[in-house]
Amino acid sequence: MTTTFTTTAPSPVGPLLLTSDGTALTRLLFATEPDPSWSTETCPVLERAMTQLAEYFRGERTDFDLPLDPAGTAFQLTVWLALRDIPYAQTVNYGQLATRVGNPRASRAVGLANGRNPISIMVPCHRVIGADGSLTGYGGGLDRKRTLLDLERRTSGVDDQQLSML
């Protein structure tokens, strides 16, 4: 049986729960309780993840350099990989993301996969918005989504009007 290492990290969007199998980050969730069977020992992957998250929240990091291993279906993995291609401080809508994964009519399925993303922030599901440019559907809540997008906007120098046009 594989050991699941876990830690929590403070952040401007509330406590984050991180898990790793020792070789890759497997989850980055908003304030949930760890499974009692998970080890509370840290591991190098979690230490790197916490360092990179701190740098991201200070505006010093625009991408993450960690091995990631989210568990999901083949379609979900395809969507989550496409999320990682959305540039920092930019947004796409669900229809655009569906087109990027090769199925332009699958915007609802893309939305469901986006909502099941187990590695938030590092797999930037917060960069997906509604077709009309509105902030929609974020598992962490719209306030967190807005905070993350505002952080990226400030760090990159993109103003509110440019952000709404992306």
Gap between the Cα atoms of 60 and 81, Å rounded: 23
Gap between the Cα atoms of 145 and 13, Å rounded: 9
State the DSSP code for 36: T
Gap between the Cα atoms of 125 and 117, Å rounded: 7
The yes-or-no answer on residue 125 being catalytic is yes
The residue written with tokens 């890759």 in the block is 24
Residue of 13, 110, 125, 129 marked catalytic:
125
Active-site residues: which are they? 125
